[in-house]
Amino acid sequence: AKQAGRGAYQFFNEEMNAAAHERLHLENGLRGALERGELELYYQPKVDIKQRRVVGCEALLRWNHPKLGIVSPVRFIPVAEECGLIVPIGDWALREACRQMLEFQRSSGQNLVVAVNVSALQFTQRNFVDSVRQALDETGLTPQCLELELTESALMKDTDGALDTLKALSDMGVRLAVDDFGTGYSSLSYLKRFPINCLKIDKGFVRDLETDVDDAAIVNAVINLAHSLRLTVVGEGVETEGQLQFLLERGCEEAQGFYFDQPLRAEAFQTVLRNTPPA
Ligand code: C2E
Ligand code: CA
Ligand code: CA
Ligand code: CA
């Protein structure tokens, strides 16, 4: 019986396996990654579709792991959210994005906007508004040049609390966007109550909009909904001229995607800005 027990335990051990071990491995590495300077923000240009010019960027985290190389946020953000590390990491990303944006503005002479992703756990921290105010104060970035990207799930967790937080941010002058719009369990009534500026159409809807009539209908509807509520729209994951034309014809204001640029290191984004003629 002992023998079988041990066998079963070993079997379980192997089964609990890859996924759990990778998680633990990433979590251990992630502790201290900030202090070791292993996290870096990349910047993906956001383009005004009508004028075809860069009007800002989205800051996207990358982890330069000493052994694994560049780790995608798709892998480590869920781990960071689960163990709470997303709070200090997100706070760092907020300050770093504001600092870097001021540098982009100074070197380009353009009034660009930086969009920063905020996870639900970070957004619901009691001192979130203070940490945003601090990031702006410490770096000197104009509040109107900072946009926070929130997911529907972050907004729907505690809608009364969310409303207070959003109002405080909006009063400060910070822009607010709903990320991955249409993928969450959204109640549309919150769009009316919350002081939101912008909807980002999820790339899952953009990908096939040239061939899939349902995706085209959804994108169309989201743009119309946004405009009826006086919100601007960003199409994300734009990879083709056809997708861009579709969005242009329907009045979508901004786009980002591989058709223009991948997320870029700060120096590469500076180069893109140098090649953008002043407005
Ligand atoms: P997201 O906020 O929806 O970011 C857009 C993702 O789409 C990025 O993936 C970007 O690289 C990718 N993308 C951009 N253009 C295209 C395109 O044309 N085609 C395709 N297929 N993909 C495109 P990335 O950088 O891997 O980030 C993944 C997710 O990780 C983000 O999704 C966001 O949810 C999360 N994330 C990244 N940085 C942060 C951060 O600082 N804080 C938090 N909380 N989450 C972050
Ligand atoms: Ca985003
Ligand atoms: Ca998104
Ligand atoms: Ca996403």
User: What would the pLDDT profile of 93-151 be if each residue is shown by its tens digit?
Assistant: 999 999 999 999 999 999 999 999 999 999 999 999 999 999 999 999 999 999 999 99
Residues within 6 Å of ligand 1 by CB: 44, 60-61, 72-74, 77, 90, 93, 117-119, 179-180, 203, 236-239, 256-258, 263
**Do 60 and 74 form a contact (C-beta atoms < 8 A)?**
no
DSSP per-residue string spanning 96-112: HHHHHHHHHHHHHT---
**Do 273 and 57 form a contact (C-beta atoms < 8 A)?**
no
What's the rounded mean pLDDT across residues 8-27?
74
In one letter, which amino acid is 160?
D
pLDDT digits (tens, 9 = 90+) for 252-275: 999 999 999 999 999 999 999 998
Give the Å distance between the CA of 26 and the centre of ligand 4: 20
Paired with 58 in beta bridges are 44, 115
Tokens found for residue 186: 């959204």
What is the pLDDT at residue 158? 87
**Cα–Cα distance between 71 and 106 in angstroms, integer?**
30
Give the Å distance between the CA of 1 and the centre of ligand 3: 53
pLDDT band at 182 (very low <50, low <70, confident <90, very high): confident
**Do 176 and 150 form a contact (C-beta atoms < 8 A)?**
yes
Instruction: Tell me phi and psi for residue 71, to 5 degrees.
Output: -100, 130
pLDDT digits (tens, 9 = 90+) for 205-250: 999 999 999 999 999 999 999 999 999 999 999 999 999 999 999 9
DSSP per-residue string spanning 26-43: HHHHHTTTTTTT-EEEEE
pLDDT over 60 at 2, yes or no? no
Give the Å distance between the CA of 237 and the centre of ligand 3: 8
What is the pLDDT at residue 159? 87
- Looking at the predicted complex, does its ipTM rise above 0.90? yes
**Cα–Cα distance between 42 and 269 in angstroms, integer?**
9
**Do 201 and 183 form a contact (C-beta atoms < 8 A)?**
no
What is the pLDDT at residue 211? 97
